[in-house]
Every structure is written in structure tokens, then in C-alpha cells.
Chains A and B, each alone.
Chain A
Amino acid sequence: MAAVSRRTSRWGILWIVLGSAYFLVPLAATAQFSLRTGRDEYGFGAYSEIVQDPLFRQSLAFSFKLALYTIVIALVLLVPTAYWVHLKLPRLRPVVEFLTVLPFVVPPIVLVVGLLRGFRWTPTWFYGGYLLLVAGYVVLAFPYIYRSLDAGLRAIDIHTLTEAAQSLGASWPTVLLRVIVPNLKSSLLSAAFLTLAIVMGEFTMGLLMQFTTFAVHIQYVGETQATGAAALSIISFAITWVAMLGILLVGRRIGGRQVQIGGTR
């Protein structure tokens, strides 16, 4: 047995090493490429050029704003829903689960085509405004936020918490905001971080609705400036890392189960 498991482990290490090489070489090469200022000359030229570009700050701030709106709207919609489904309406659970995994069947490219078709009759301030984009991002965030909330609600005894709060005279809004939400902190935070990562990198819907999100800006830069695009890719990767480390930290602190999965771009 010992010999067998040692052999598997050696095989395993080989696989892990090969896999890591595939994943780390492009990152290292991109970092090196972004520092290239000429043949065999290196410097931070591309980075300073990018940061000075006003479109960089505008697109980054714009995507960040979209992410915040998306997180707030999605949480306001889903926290009460997930709570009531757990507490009182278990028969609605399949319906809610179906609706929240539906975005996997309707990828961003399809959803944006549907939104553009369906809301064509609406006034220009809405049809051409970023609220329609946020509306789409909220739908994209549904699966991740619902899974995270669902796992969080499973981990705490919401029946006892609710009854205890109510017998002490708490109203429904108080129960939800001051008893349930604080107990869901880790899953709320990890849902927020994952949504942040998704929206900060979202390209498809932004491009088709003709907004310069951060990813659309990277694409524009890449059409003329290869090193600049590499530098922006490194920055984008760093943003994803920070968001994922955030999930890991809140998950570990409270000991919750990690719920996350990749998304289609």
C-alpha cells in the first residue's frame, strides 16, 4: 500500500508541476512583456503611459461603479428571497434554483442580445443608459450570489434565530437586517467579492451595449499597443486575485464552506 501511494503521489507531483507550468508561464511572460520597452530593454514605461491615460481611470471607475450597483441590487433581491425560501416557502425552492441557474443556459452574449431586443421600446435614457447594463450584470451574478447565500443559510439555524428574535419583539425588518444578515456576513462578502471579480472583467455585454468598461478599454488599447495591453492584463489579473483572496479570507475567518465557480465570458 505504501509503495502504491508513494507512486501515485510522485505521478501526482508531476501532474501538478506540469499544470503549474502551463498556468504560470503565461503570467510570467505577460509580466515580462509588459515591461519591455525595446529589444532587451525593460522599464515601467507601459505602466506609466497606461495610468496617465484618462480612459484608464474612467473605465476602471465605471466598471467599479457598475460592480457596486450590481452587488447592492443583487443582494437586496436575493437575501430576502433566499431567507423566505429557507424559512417558509420551501416549495418555491426548485423555482428559485431554476431561475438562478438559468444564466448558465443563457450566456452573456445571448442575454445581451435579448435585453437589446426586449427593451428597444423603452426611452433612450434607459435603453442607452448603463442601468440596462447593470440589470444584465445582476442576472449574471444570480447563480454565484444565490449559491453563496444558500450555503450560508444552511450553515446557521435560521428557525431558532428568527423565533428568538421575534419572541423578544423584533419586527420582520429587524430580524432580517439585525439578526440574519450579520450571521450571513461571510457568505454575503464572498458573494460580493465574486461579483466584483466578474463585473470588473466583463466585456461581452459592455461591448454590445457600447460602453467602455474596463475590459473593453483593454481591448481598445490592445488594438494599437501590445505592451500596454499586457500591462493592463496584469492589472486585471491582480484585481481578480484580490477579489479571490478576499473570498478566501472571509471564508477562513468564519469557517464557512467556499462556494465559487468560474463564469463564462
Chain B
Amino acid sequence: MADVTFIVDGKKLTAPAGTLLIDACRKAGIEIPAFCYYPGLSLQAACRMCVVRQEKVPKLQTACTTTVAEGQVFVTESEEIAQARKATIELLLGNHPLDCPVCDKGGECELQDMTFKYGAGESLYDEAKNHREEQQWSPAVYFDRPRCILCYRCIRVCGEGMDVWALGVQNRGVKSVIAPNGGDHLDCEQCGMCIDICPVGALTSGSYRYKTRPWEMNHVATVCTHCADGCKVTLGVRQTQDGSEIVRANNRDKSGINDDFLCAKGRFGFDFVESQDRLTKPLVRNSEGKLVEASWEHALRLAASKLKEVCDSKGGSAIGVVGSNRTTNEENYLLQKFARTVLQTNNIDHERTADYAAFAQALAGHSGKAANLRETATAPAILLVGGNPTEEHPLLAWNLRTNVRLNRARLYIANAKAIKLERMSYATLRLPADGYPALAAYMGGSNAILKDTTFREAVLAEDSLLVVFGSEYSGSQVAELVAWGLQLGNVRFAFLGGYANSRGAADMGLLPDFLPGYMPVTAHGAFAEYAGLPAKPGKTLAEMMASAGKGELGALLVVGADPVAKLGATPEALKKTFIIVADIFLTETAALADVVFPAVSLYEKSGTVTNTFGDVQLVCKAADRAGVKPEFEILVRLAGAMGVDVKTLVPFGKGSVTADLGQSRGAQAGEADRHAVWLAANNLEPKLSPFDPLAVLDEIARLVPGYNVDRVNLLSGNDVQTEPGLAPASASAGRGQITPVHDGLFTSGTLSQHSAALQELARHQAAQLVKIRMK
């Protein structure tokens, strides 16, 4: 719509005609208070807080329903308006319990803030308040009815946002109450969005309630460790006896890639960090064959000497290295660099959840064809092939729903199974169970698997297309589907895989055939600066285990993975292999190991991760505990103990960079902060520690194709996209096994097994299912 000009508080503003006044004002920095208005959700006009005075209109108008038109004149703050808002708050407080001192929301409550702003300090109310006991609706959600101000945000975010529709409003008048669909409990996806969106303390989190006060926590914005969407999560951290613990996870600042969204895993699945099962001391197998606690010194020396011995005696081909889907890019990069330059081997792999190598190969040479995650919320047409994003990629599902709801995007779904997102779809194609490989041919015009052409015709009629597909495809099938898409012209692709840094593991070269950036091991390219890089493709994970079984693998270094459990290896098969494991739990592999290092979770370290869309984000250290070390430090210390000059691994120290150590900083604190970001962004911050992951990030940006990303944005906490199209086309498509994860709403590989909260939610859901079946 055409822009119109109107006046707010004497200021001339411009916005497209029909924009809601409240949005236009907020964009212009004029804050209009509101409880019920929430961007992106349906309008209510119920709270009456956003009232403003419009010239020539007799009554105060609600800014959340007034659309702007040419020449309008508004006043948003005046005595009359302040009085109206104050009266509304007085009315709310009349029945509000005012139990702020014990309310979870105290200190970050919108009702408190509004009361502070508009007064209402004197209570005019003498009557008894309408009290109701607090109710537990699920392990995740508690409802404190007297605190509820009936803004209906929870109902809308659950229905419109999540497409779950588990909340409603019942009764009438002052007896109106938010009600769950199960009568006295919630039968839903337990995402906890209703808790986040509640402006007051009416809906509280089972895992956080009555734990602490908001101001007693440090709030650290980092990236969720669970699925491959990479939501920004704010961890509330509090001091403990031996470090600091995470008390809460939510979406506090809403500044991340996920906007308003966070799922159950991100919100409740942080407690594995505090699990009793955590490894906190290094373990070494003693002469009796038992794993016993040891000092870091001893464990490192033992592991280093054994690695060196095998390397020197049998060569790198007798050593295997397995990396992780959840460690940072810097750790993964360092691990492969350590494997290739120190251990002299390409025997490096990880538990692959999707064939990112094939995806990169398919896009090699085609820049600008990879879609970032944010595009899934704006693309006008999306073809979603396979998977079940509602469970496996909750943020992607949220974006697709939002896109359909707010932008009327057309969602095309091709799937062998019925999935919940089909409720939002424009057209659905039901594929035969084995039909995925043939989809590219069908889209290209073949009717071999399906006669119905309407789906194809509808998709082909689109001017642009975002193709989202995933682990149903590997190898040449990926290439075929991408090739079909590329000939459409205006197309972008997204490829779905498993865990928080599955994409980063592949991108960073935890592969036997590829260096970082899918550079073939046979042609080193920019990595030629590594001294003595092996040129022969290494063993895949399965091949390593087979080799161990034959007694040919002298040592196996496993970081954050559990190949024994995944591949079902027997203890006998690994008898002749010296196994070194770094992990946070005693996995099946760790139980067979000779040395075990207690590592840390993604919430206890810094670095970057890459989500499945190729968006890189900064990971910030939140919690800490005595005894454990990040994998990054473990690797550097291991290398050091082997006698390696760690500077060749981690380019720390001043080197040739002339750093500005602050001489030019301005007088104001704010400037100093900006200056620090600028220094870091421009690689000018001196990396004075060999344990500083940012030193490796410099090298990643310099050497890895597609990773020379916008560092100012990255370090400011924003998501920045990589460019897989810059990967070189390779003759080898790569080998190795892909095991898709297909996690559910409450499962997340090993981590969920150690999360009491997620286990409880899973049990609750299972019990609900039984109840429904009994009905």
C-alpha cells in the first residue's frame, strides 16, 4: 500500500496506509503500552491500554485496531490518556493478588512495569479478591488464575502460533477463565510458548517456578544445543558451590533467529547439564582393567603418549578420530586439523545425520541458492519434501505456519506419511513409502510413480520456490532433486539434518574424504599451508570400527560421540584399540575407553555453531563447573602433551597482527564496548590464549570456503549465513553412512536421556495418549 503521512505527538510519521497505529508508532520509537496486542497474532482490543486520542474522534481509540491514513493526527500521551491507562491498571490490580514478592514474574512483569509507569499506587478496593488455587496443567505448565489479566495471548500463541489450540476461555464476565483442553490438564505439545508470552505470572514454568528471582541470574543468550534449527535461547544462570548452574531457559530477549519461538527441548531440556551422571573428573583404566579417577595431568600424559606411540609406530592410518554433532565449529575444525596434521590421518568421521557433503556438492558452483532459516518465514512458496518439521525442526514448522498465516504463503508438502503441517498446506502430495528418489523425476514431468499431475502443475506455476528437504535424500538423489530445482531458475534450497552442529561437523571437515568446506583431501587448495597433510582419503566411521575389529586400529579418539552404541560394536572388537573419549557422560564408548576426559556441554563453552540452513551463530558460555574442560582446551592440551607446537594448531598470540590494545578507545563506556566488538570483528583483538576459539574462527574464515561471514553481525549475536555454493565441485561424492535421527518433541539423542524434565514430559505425553485411546 502507498505510504501515508500522519502526525503522532506532533511528529510527522510515514507508513504504508493501513498499518496499525501501534506498529507505526513502535517503529518510530513511540512506545504505546499494550497487554493484549502482540505482533503477528490476531487483534483483540481487549485490554484498552493502548488508547490514544485521535483528532475529531469523540472517544479514545485503541492504537492496536486503528489503521493509519493520510492526514490523521494522534496524541499518545496526555493527562486524559494517562488517566485512562491508570484506571485500567487500578481495575486489574483490584482483583490481582499482588503477590509480586513470591511471583516468578516479579521483576520482569509487564503489569508491574505498567503500574510503575502509570501510578495506580493507591488501592481503592476494599473487597475480598476472587481467589483460586494454583493449578498444575502439565509437568511444564502451571496456572495461577488470580494473576491472569485475560490478555488472551496464550490462547492465540497456542492456537494461531502453534496450531495446537489447547487453550480456551470459559465462563463469562468476571468469572472468565483461561481453560486447558483436558479439563484440568493440558493435552498439547508442551512447548511452553504460553509461559513465555504471558505478560504476568499467571502461566509459570514447572522447571523454574519459585527457584529464584530474575535479577539474581545472569542472562546469557546462546544457541540451543538440541535440534539443528539453532534457536537462540536465553539461559538464566546462578552461582553454585562449584561453579554456576542454569536455572532457566527461555526466549527472554526475542532477538534471535527464532523471534518469538522456543520449543520444549530448548525451554526445558537444559537440566542434563546438572545431571548426576555428568563426568567431572578424568578417568583412566587401571591395571585391573577398571576405570578410575585420575588427574588431568596423568590422563593427558597417558593419552598423549599412547597416541604418539601408535602414530610413530604404525602411522596415522592406524588411528581413528570421531567427532561430534554438538561441539562447536572451532572444536570440530581443531579436531580435524589435529587429526590431519598431528596424527597424520584422514581417518576422521562423525555420526552423520544427513548427507551435507552431497548437498554441498550439488550446489557447488551455484552461489546464492542456499536458503537461510529466516527465509522460511517469508518465502511466498515452499516445497517441503519429507520429514516432520513439527517434531524434528520445531522452529522451521513455526516459521512455515507463521508464513502461511501472515503472508498467505503457499506450502506444498510431498511426504510419504501424513504430517501435522499438512493442516497449513496449499497442496499435498502423498508419496509411496519408497517414492522419495522418484520425486525429482515426477516434478520433472514423469508420471511413473504418481498419475496425479495437479501438485506438480501447482508447484511449477510458482514464480519462486523454496525447496526444503532432508535426510530422506543422500548421494546422487540429492543431486537429482537439486538439479531439477536449479533449472527452475528462481529457487533456493534448504537441507535438513539432525543436531545443533551436524551441519558444522560436515562443514568443518569431520569427513574422511573432505577437508573443511568440502575441499577434497586429494586436492588441498588453501589448506596447502598445513604442513604434511595426508592426501589419501581416510576411513569412514564404519570402516574404522571394522578395522578395529581386525585389530588394525591402534588408537581411537572419540569426541562427543558414541560409535559403540550407534554401530553396535562389541567390547571384544575394540580390545586391541586404545580408546580416548571426551564426553559429558559415560557413554557406551566411554565405558570401554582407556582414557576418558570430562568435557562440557554447548552451554558451558564459547564458539560458533552452524544450523542445518548454514546460518552461523555465536555460542556464549553460560554455566560452568569445577573439574571439566571444553573439548577445545582438551585438544590443545593433548597436542601440547604430545610435544606439538600448539601455535601451529591455534594461531594465538600477536603474531603479525598489530593490535590496538585500547589506546584509541573513547571516553564513554558505550564506545569502549563498540570498540571491543569492532576489534574482534576485524581480527584485531589479540588472541592471547591458546584456548581462545576465536583464534581458530579467524582461520576458519580465512581458509574455509563460504565461511568468510560478516563478523560484526556474528559477534553481535546475530545469525549470518554461509555460502555452500563456494565449495569446489569434486569428483568424489564422498562415502559413509547416513543415519537420520528423527527426534521427537522431547528426544534429543543422548542428551534427553539425561534430562529429567524431558523424560517427565515424554512420560506425561505417553500417559495422555493412553488416556485418549482408552476413551
Our verdict on whether A and B bind, yes or no, reads no
Which residues of B come within 8 Å of A, CB atoms? none
Residues of chain A at the chain B interface (Cβ within 8 Å): none
